[in-house]
A and B are shown apart, each in its own frame.
Chain A
Amino acid sequence: MKRLLLTGNGAAAWGARLAQVDYIPAFPITPQTEIIEAIGQWIDNGEMAGRMVTLESEHSMITAAGAAAATGVRVFSATSSQGLLYGMEMLFTVAGWRAPFVLANVSRGLSAPITLEPDHNDILAARDSGFLQIHCSTCQEVLDSTIIAYKLGEDAGVRLPVIVNQDGFYLSFTREPVEVPDQEQVAKFLGQFDPENTRFRASTPESQAVAVLGGAPYSYFRYESHLAALNAIKVYDRIADEYEQLFGRRYDAVESYRCEDAEYLFVMLGSFATKAKAAVDQLREAGWRIGLLRPRLLRPFPEKLFQQTLTVTKGVAVIDQNISMGKGGVLYTELASVLAGSTEPAPLLVSFIGGLGGRDITPEEFYEMAEVTKKAVQEGQAPPPRLLYTETDLRETRKLQAIAQAERSELGGSE
């Protein structure tokens, strides 16, 4: 074990290195590129075995990743945002091949307008693809989750590819002290990849991913994938125990921060949850009984864990760093479905959308969200989803528009 200062990108690369991956199909995209650069340098220096190939697109990259996994080698790949969407057809396709591998995604807001900064619309677009999803909030977690993801995806009762998600800039480019486990220990934890019968050998021919005719075989295979994904909750819990025993760090499927005796909760994904933790500490000092729930596993969705914690609270502020146009926050609707099927008294869910395209969520906004939620509970009525946007935000945007106008008239263009 050693301690290094690593960015989230560096931590993802280290995860792949420690998993001793055989094959890395790659394609550069900001803010993910450092991952493949680090791996490329290690391979060139002889510090890491494995073969890296740059494909001509993410669509091809994910195809090659799935095909190599289906041939029986351990595969790692990485992408972000537009790249994830460019490869979207193949995300759904290779998940159906049941050939496990790990894909790092560095979240970044989607076009249009085009931006480099993060939110979660990219990764949530892959929600129904069949990939399992682990969401990280620290660089340490990125490294550990990458290793855990191999163990999870390769499990005989799962056999699905896994995306390990981190936020662009906030994690990808932020250095944190990270404990890097010993290679030998990780190798012992993971073991060799056993492709079982999902592999290509001349002496034992296989037809993989063949067409089906009719709904019966189609549904059969789709349901199988779904059941395998559901089974991954139990498998994840077992792996998390094992990981804690070996490496001393615990990663529950849902991180629960100061939720004991909590009347109110924040629920959110990713690195901004660390801001929510700071707000929880402040609010607790001010006398609030409040905590934070942060799903690490988004697919499969750990419903039971949420039910257990949510049903004992009064009000929940769900903070979505994504927006489903014409509906609202994706996590909010996911949580609402968890509560809908129970006769237990349910807490009031209040929906907030913020942090889009890297916009910060300030401590004051967390306090305000707690207040809004408390008031909603008192009134017994949730307000419509709140879109976080301050007068300053609006003034900044208006300023840009004013500059454009001024420049245009200065240069003699039409108004």
Chain B
Amino acid sequence: MMVHMKPSSGAHVGANNSVSHIMWQVMLALSPATAFGLLCFGWPAINLFIITVLSAVVFEAFCVRLKGRAAKPVIMDGSAVLTGWLLAITLPPWAPWWIGVVGSGLAIILGKQVYGGLGQNLFNPAMLARVALLISFPIEMTIWANVSPLFFSHSPGLIESWHITFLGLDNIDASTGATTLGFIKAEFSQNHLLTDILKDYSGFLNFIGGTRGSLGETSTLLLGLGGIWLIRQNIIQWQIPVSLLLTVALLSGFFHFADSEHYVSSLLHLNSGAMMCVAFFIATDYVTSPNTPTGQLVFGAGCGLLIFVIRTWGAYPEGAGFAVLLMNSATPLIDYYIKPRIYGRDRKGKPLEIPKS
């Protein structure tokens, strides 16, 4: 009975959560949109998804082994799978296999492990990889496949999909096109007006996801629902998504109101591109976002502002990746200046005055 037990301090009991639990919850929230996207883009998209996630896990295991630690517990925390998953849903669904592998390598090695692994990275690994790929391989990263759902006669079959993934697409023009944002940007550059550009635009298709784009760009509905579920599960806080979406909506609303022929409406902004994915899944990444609710509001607003600016006046049709990376680099600064007030002290850390009664 008289076993001497090591002194251990409170709390002796704990909440029922763990790192891997959080990661799996996020993946669960992503899965409807991902499944729908995979359905829409068929076998080549499934190939690319599997390749990207698997190679992320392999790179993670490799790095951990290089450090001389056991790889299994680190893999089991799910962070590498999640990084691979997030990267995969931001790639063009019919991109060749090496885009996925190179992207995973960039995300895991350059985006995460060189900083010291989980929790130490300054930039969101998936976004870092996506942006690096976009700059390095602009052609491959901007070929967007038409919607060609699984088991449809004109969709590529399993065998054909291997050809697309591993050898490349033969007849590019026949089966690809531009995303909504890319199309608008191109048309604007030819001085067309918005009413002409949006003749064939269907807000509904964009909303449910039947449009060209990466898996994480198409279905506003499913991504948004997944995100709201995450907030309800208390995995993410509402501050970043709300301030991000609100900032974009307000800015675009204001400009659209001022000049509706040259500025896209708020609804189209929120409904297209990676807006939902970024607001709920990318910008809310714990590691690279601020710690305090106020800081998170600032962070979200900054992301929103940058997304709007890049989309409207920048060279790229979609600026979410750049916006998140830029705000990631501002996170330490936000955390430095926006801190919670300590009980009994003022904002500057001085003890409060005793109130005169």
Partners in one complex: no
Please give the residue numbers on chain A whose beta carbons come within 8 Å of chain B beta carbons, in ascending order: none
